[in-house]
Amino acid sequence: MSQIAGQAPPAAAPRKRRRLGVSVVLCLAVLIPIVISAVFGSAIAPHDPALQDPTLGALAPNGTYWLGTDDLGRDIFSRLIAGAYTAVAGPLLVALGTTLTGTVIGLLAAYRGGWFDTVAMRGVDLMYALPAMLVLIIAVGVLGGGYYVAVVLLIFLTVPTNIRLVRSAALSQKEMAYVESARVMGLSPARIIGVHILPNVSPTVVTNFLLDFVGALVGLSGLSFLGLGVPAGTADWGLMLAENRAIMDLNPMAIVAPAALITLTATAATVLADAAYKRISQAGAQRD
Amino acid sequence: MTDLSTAPVSTATDLCVENLSIGLGSRPLVRDVSFTIKPGETICLVGESGSGKSLTARAIAGLLPAGLSATGSVRLDGRELIGRPERELRGLRGRRVSLLMQDPFTMLNPMLTAGATIAESLPRSLSRTAKRAEVLRRLAEVGITDPAAADRYPFQLSGGMCQRVAMAAALAKDPDLLIADEPTTALDASVQSEVLSLLMRLRDARGMSLLLITHDLRVAFSTCDRVLVMYAGSVVEEAPAAALAATPAHPYSAGLLTAMPSVHARRAKLVGIPGRVPSAADVAGRCVFEARCRHAVEECRTAAPPLVRIGEGHASACARYEDIRAVLNVAPPVENDTGVAAATTHEKAVAVVTGLGKDYRTRGLRKSATSTALHEVSLSIGAGESVGLVGESGSGKSTLARCLLGLTKPTRGTIAIDGVVQCVFQDPYTSLNPSHTIGFALREALTKRVPGSDPVDVRELLELVGLPSAYAERRPVALSGGERQRVAIARALAVNPALLICDEPVAALDVSVQAQVLELLRRVNRELGTSLLFITHDLAVVRQVTDRLVVLYKGRFVEEGPTGQVLDKPTHEYTQMLLNSVLFEGTESNA
C-alpha cells in the first residue's frame, strides 16, 4: 500500500500519545499487585504466612482465612502473598541475566561475523540439543538443589534462544544503508552496535526479556513442585501446589489459587510482551 | 443479474469508468476518475507515488485491499462491476481483465516452474501433452523460445525473463483488457524497452486493450494513445500522448515534463516541483495542485476546477489554463556540456584506482565457484571533478563503489584516496536510522568532520541542503523520500569529504523530487568543489550531473569520455545499445 504509506504526516503534527490498550491495562492490573506483594511480602499479609496452628487443620475459605488454611493451619492467602517473592525475584533474575548475555553475544555475533559468530552459533546448536528440563532436574538434584542454583542453570539454558533471536534481528539491520553509512563515516564498532543497531532490535530484546520471565516462572515453579527448588516449608506457589494436593477435597482453594496465580502471571507477561513488541517496533526499523 | 463468466463474450471490450472514487472509510483516496478505453486502445495512467493510480487500477480489477471501498461506476461492455460479489468477479479476472504487476520476482510463486505458472491459468480440460505444447507456445509468444525455460524456477530466470513469464501467465486466459501496473519499473533500461515493445506487439496481435500504470512519462509517451495525469487522487489532465508531450495544459504536467531529465541535453538548471504530494483528503474542494502551483490564485483555493475540454481529446483541470497557457510549455534552457570535461583539467586527483578487481566465491555443497564482479579497472577522479559510472545490474558498479568506500576488500589492485570518502545510497528509507532524530544523525557525523575544515553546525547543514532547521528535531519517519535523501547528503557533507559517492541516489524518487536532489548534488560539486562519483543506470540523469562518463559492462570499462560526447556519439556497441533503449522523451531536444 505505497499510496497510503507514502503520505507523510502533516508538517507540524505533535506526537500523539497512544492510549494503553484494554489488554495491557488488564495485564498490569494482574502484575502490579503481584510485584507489590513480592516487594513487601509478609508485611502486608493479614496473617503470618509461616505460623502453624495444627488445631485448625485444613479449613475451607471463611471470614478470617479468606482462602482457607492448609493442613498445618497456615493461612493460604498470606502464603500466596509471601510466595510472590520467589515467583518474581527468580524469574526476574533469569530474565535479566539471559537478556543481557543473549543480547551482547547476539549483537557481537551478527556484527562481527567470522570465527566469533561460528563459535557462538555452534555453541547455541549444542545447547539446543540438550534436553533442558532433564539437565535442570539432574543438575539441581546432584548439586543438592536450591533456588539460586536453579536460577543460574535456567539462565544458562535460556541464553541460546536469546542469542539466536537477537542475532537474526541484528543481521537484518546490519544490511541496512544506515549501518553502512555509519561504517563509512568511521564510527567505532561499539558505537555502531550500541547506538545504531541496538535501538532497532529493542523490540526483540524487550520481548525476550518478558518471555524469559514467563519461561523461568513456569520452570522454577515446576522445580519447586518436584521439590527441587526452594527448601521445604517456604511459601512458594509451586511448592504449595505440591504440598496441598492431599487436602484437595478439604480446601480446594489451597491448590486452585496458586495454580491460578502462576497461570495468570505467565499469561499477563506474555500478552504484555506481545503488546510491547508491537508498540516499540512501530517507532523503529524492525517491523513484522 | 446475468452471470458474467458464462455471458456471451464479445471479442472487443469497452471499459467505461465513471466518477470512480475510492475511500478508506470516510477518507477519500481517489476522487471522481472517469475515462473510457475503446477496444484495442492503450490508456496510460501517469502519476507519482500517492497519486492513486495503482488504486484506480486495482478497483477496476476488483482487487482493492481490505478496508477500501469504491463508489461510482466501472462498466465492462455495459455491465457494472462495482458492487459485484467476489465470486462473479473471479470468473471475470484473467478471462476478461487481467493484471500484470511490477516486481517480477515476487509476482511469481517461487515454488512453481515457469511452465507450471502458465499452465495454472490454462483450461483444465487440456491433456498433459496438449497443455505442455500450449505452455511452450505461450512462452514463444512472449519471446522465450528455449523450451527448457518452462522447467526453470523464477530464481533461475533473469528479471526480464520473469516479467515475460508473468506476462504469459497474465495472458493465458486471453483477456480483452490487460492492466499493467509499472510492468517495467524494476527492469534494466535495455530490458525495459524490450519488454515494452513486446507488450505493444502482443496488444496489436491480440487486439486487446491496455491500461498501463506508470510514473514514467517516457514510458507513457512511447506506448500510449492517451494519457491521464493523476495527482493526489484526481485526474488533472487527459490528453493524447503527443499533445501532452508538446503542449501540456496543466501546471503539474508541465512541471513533470520540465523536471524530467533528458539524455540529449544538459539542463542549465534542474527545476523540480516544490513541496510534496498532499493526500486526497486534504485537498477537498480546491484545486489539488494549488499548494505547489506558482500560478495559483484565490479562485484555485475556493473550488475544485473540473476537467474542461480544451482540444481534441485534450482536457485540463486547471482553472487558469487560458491565462497561463503561454508559459506552460516553455522549454527549459540547456547548457553545452560536450566539451566541459576536456576543457577543465584536474591537476590533483582525489582517488586513483589501479587494476582493481573483485571476485566472489560461492561455496556450494560439493564445489565452490568463483565469479568475477570486477575485472582490472583503473580510474582517476580529479579534485572537483564529477564522474559518472553507468552500467546495468550486475555490471559491477556497486562493487566498485563498495571497494572505494572500504565496505568490501578488493581481490586485486590498489586504491589511493586523498581525503575522506562519503556516500549517499539508493534507498532513502533505510539510509537513515529510524531510532534517531535528524539532528542526532548530523551531530554524530559532525564529530567525524575532517580536522581543519571550516566549522559548521546542524542548522547550516540543513540550510545547505534546503531544509528548515526545525527538521533537526524530527525523526526519519516524518520525512518524505526526497527529504531523507537531502538529509543523507547533509550527513555526508558534515564530514567534509573530498569525494562523494552517490549510488543511484535518485532511483527511488519521484521525477519532481529527483530534479531537486540532482540540482543539489550539482551545486555540491560546483560550489563546494566536492568530487562526485555518480553511479546510475539512467543515462538521462547522468548527463545532468557529470562531466566525465565511464561505462561499465560485465565488470570492465568499455567506454570513457566527456559525458556529452559519449552520449551524443557513443563508440562502443554496448553504449550504443543502451542509448537505443532510451525511450522517447516527448520533446526532441535542440542540443
Which of B181, B424, B431, B435 to mutate to test binding with chain A, by most A CBs within 10 Å of its CB? B435
Average per-residue pLDDT for chain B: 87
For residue A198, pLDDT beyond 60: yes
For residue B117, pLDDT beyond 50: yes
CB-based contact B431 A177, cutoff 8 Å: yes
| A178 close contact with B: CB closer than 8 A | yes
Q: Which of A9, A181, A284 sits opposite B491 (nearest CB)?
A: A181
Beta carbon pairs, A and B, within 8 Å: 87
Strands B531-536 and B386-390, sheet pairing = parallel
Q: What pTM was estimated for this model as a whole?
A: 0.82
| A280 close contact with B: CB closer than 8 A | no
In a domain, A49, yes or no: no
Reported as a pLDDT band with limits 50, 70 and 90, residue A283 is low
pLDDT of residue B586: 61
Find, in chain B, the residue whose alpha carbon is nearest to that of A287.
B434
- Sign, CA torsion B207/B100/A6/B509: negative
Residue B342, C-alpha cell as written in the block = 576536456
Mean pLDDT, range B447-460, rounded to an integer: 90
Owning domain of residue A80: 23-41+68-283
Closest CA to B548 of B564, B535, B531: B564
Mean pLDDT, range A84-93, rounded to an integer: 94
Reported as a pLDDT band with limits 50, 70 and 90, residue B285 is confident
**Which residue ranges form the domains of chain B, and what is each CATH number?**
15-224 (3.40.50.300), 246-335 (no CATH), 337-419+498-503+521-582 (3.40.50.300), 430-496 (no CATH)
In a domain, A16, yes or no: no
pLDDT of residue A112: 92
Span B461-512, pLDDT tens digits: 999 998 999 999 999 988 888 899 999 999 999 999 999 999 989 888 888 8
pLDDT of residue B436: 92
CB-based contact B54 A177, cutoff 8 Å: no
CB-based contact B276 A8, cutoff 8 Å: yes
Find, in chain A, the residue whose alpha carbon is nearest to that of B427.
A177
Which of B64, B430, B480 to mutate to test binding with chain A, by most A CBs within 10 Å of its CB? B430
pLDDT of residue A98: 96
pLDDT of residue B345: 55
| A285 close contact with B: CB closer than 8 A | yes
- ipTM of the predicted assembly exceeds 0.90: no
In a domain, A117, yes or no: yes
Q: Which of B50, B431, B448 sits opposite A178 (nearest CB)?
A: B431
Least confident interval from B3-7, B24-28, B321-325: B3-7
In a domain, A50, yes or no: no
Element spanning B386, H or E = strand B386-390
Distance CA A251, CA A257 (A): 11
User: SS3 for A45?
Assistant: coil
In a domain, A62, yes or no: no
Which of B68, B421, B433 to mutate to test binding with chain A, by most A CBs within 10 Å of its CB? B433
How many structural domains compose chain A? 1
Buried/exposed B62-98: b ≥16 CB within 10 Å, e otherwise: bebeeebebebebebbeeebbebeeebbeebbbbbbb
CB-based contact B55 A9, cutoff 8 Å: no
Span A12-68, pLDDT tens digits: 444 445 677 899 999 999 999 999 999 998 889 899 998 888 888 888 898 888 899
Q: Which of A8, A9, A284 sits opposite B435 (nearest CB)?
A: A284
For helices B321-328 and B251-259, the axis angle rounded to 10 degrees is 10
Mean pLDDT, range A72-90, rounded to an integer: 93
CB-based contact B478 A283, cutoff 8 Å: no
Residue B533, C-alpha cell as written in the block = 562519483
The upper half-sphere exposure of residue B49, i.e. CA atoms within 13 Å in the direction of its Cβ, equals: 19
In a domain, A260, yes or no: yes
Q: What is the CATH number of the domain that holds A181?
A: 1.10.3720.10
Mean pLDDT, range B397-408, rounded to an integer: 91
Residue B520, C-alpha cell as written in the block = 543539489
Mean pLDDT, range A175-181, rounded to an integer: 91
Q: Which residues contact B66 (CB under 8 A, 6 or more apart)?
A: none
CB-based contact B435 A9, cutoff 8 Å: no
CB-based contact A3 B24, cutoff 8 Å: no
In a domain, A46, yes or no: no
Rounded to a whole number of angstroms, the distance from the CA of B179 to the nearest CA of chain A is: 18
The strands making up B412-417's β-sheet, listed across from edge to edge, are B368-382, B349-363, B412-417
CB-based contact A285 B427, cutoff 8 Å: no
A285 contacts on B by Cβ (under 8 Å): 430, 433-435
- For residues B262 and B543, the answer to whether their CB atoms sit within 8 Å is yes
| A114 close contact with B: CB closer than 8 A | no
In a domain, A122, yes or no: yes
- For residues B351 and B415, the answer to whether their CB atoms sit within 8 Å is yes
pLDDT of residue B1: 42
User: B-side interface with A, Cβ within 8 Å?
Assistant: 24, 29, 49-52, 54-55, 65, 276-277, 279, 282, 405-407, 421-423, 425-427, 430-436, 444-445, 448, 475, 477-481, 488, 491-492, 495
CA B521 to the chain's CA centroid: 19
Span A232-244, pLDDT tens digits: 888 999 999 999 9
CB-based contact B480 A186, cutoff 8 Å: no
pLDDT of residue B338: 65
